[in-house]
Amino acid sequence: MNVKKPHFINFGGSLMDVSIPRVMGILNVTPDSFYSGSRTQTSTQIVERVEQLRNEGADIIDIGACSTRPGSEQPTIDEEINRLRMGLKVVRDVWPEAILSVDTYRSKVAQMCVEEYGVAMVNDIAAGQMDEDMFPTIARLGVPYVLMHMQGTPETMQQNPHYDNLLKDICLFFAERINRLRQLGVKDIILDPGFGFGKTLEQNYQLLANLHGMRFMELPILFGASRKSMAWKLLNITPEEALNGTTALNTIALMNGANILRVHDVKEAREAIKIVEKLIENQNI
């Protein structure tokens, strides 16, 4: 049997082996996230969501206070910070030992979350391109960093995205950003190809079909397509109806090398992982 080589991420001294697929549960403290079922704005709603994430087996909670859906308007830094302070306080009260990630492209927000609430990872949709201080801040904080590919900005990313060679262009983008992070001393980097961020429906499926082509970079891959348009537009349904489509996408991503699933629905993602792991186990006998 071929045994997977362990690949550890250091979350504040606690090592997580992501050669075993992991689930990142989404916690949105926003009024305008694209999937209405994920919006939690009151303390009661956040408590209920955190308890659900814990009970369903989330390995990481990814908290965000700034919607980045296509065409979205961005809150001010103060608005984002205030939302996160409220949300993070509730999370720490409910689940003190939870491994937390913050979904932000702003270095000041990342710094506050890490220093004040012990957030263990920064998930940046902009790969440092929307805040020149992000990379030095990550290096100084010494936390794992999710490096996501996006063409354009949240306001412009779906305005006719174009690639000469989709996979090659994204890998070259990652190589340049990884090199900069390594020069600054950043150790733990996770790659997110950015499904739905500056990519057409067709490009999203081309990328998913060739996701295994990123494994040569020898870094963990995060897959985040939960209830996104690559499911609901193809199926002519709504985000609220896209759980089954999301599970299908997660299963394919796992079989193509994804290490972390970023999802709204943790229970279903864990079930997909269990099935795929069993399949791989029997293929290697």
Check residue 148 and give its pLDDT: 97
Tokens 């994920």 sit on residue: 38
For the question of residue 215 being annotated catalytic, the response is: no
Check residue 69 and give its pLDDT: 66
Domain ranges of the chain: 22-283
Check residue 152 and give its pLDDT: 65
Domain covering 22-283, topology: TIM Barrel (3.20.20)
Check residue 199 and give its pLDDT: 93
Q: Which residues make Cβ contacts (< 8 Å) with residue 132, sequence separation at least 6?
A: none
Check residue 3 and give its pLDDT: 52
Per-residue tokens: 198: 């500056």
Q: How far is CA 28 from CA 32, 62, 120, in A?
A: 9, 8, 17
Q: How far apart are CA 63 and CA 119, in angstroms?
A: 10
- Which residue numbers in the chain have pLDDT < 50? 1-2, 35, 38
Q: How far apart are CA 176 and CA 179, in angstroms?
A: 5
User: Given 49, 177, 262, 270, which residue is catalytic?
Assistant: 262
* pTM, two decimal places: 0.92
Check residue 249 and give its pLDDT: 98
Per-residue tokens: 256: 């193509």
Nearest to 243 by CA among 226, 260, 266: 226
SS3 263: strand
User: Given 83, 228, 274, 278, which residue is catalytic?
Assistant: 228
| Total Cβ atoms within 10 A of residue 170 | 22
For the question of residue 228 being annotated catalytic, the response is: yes
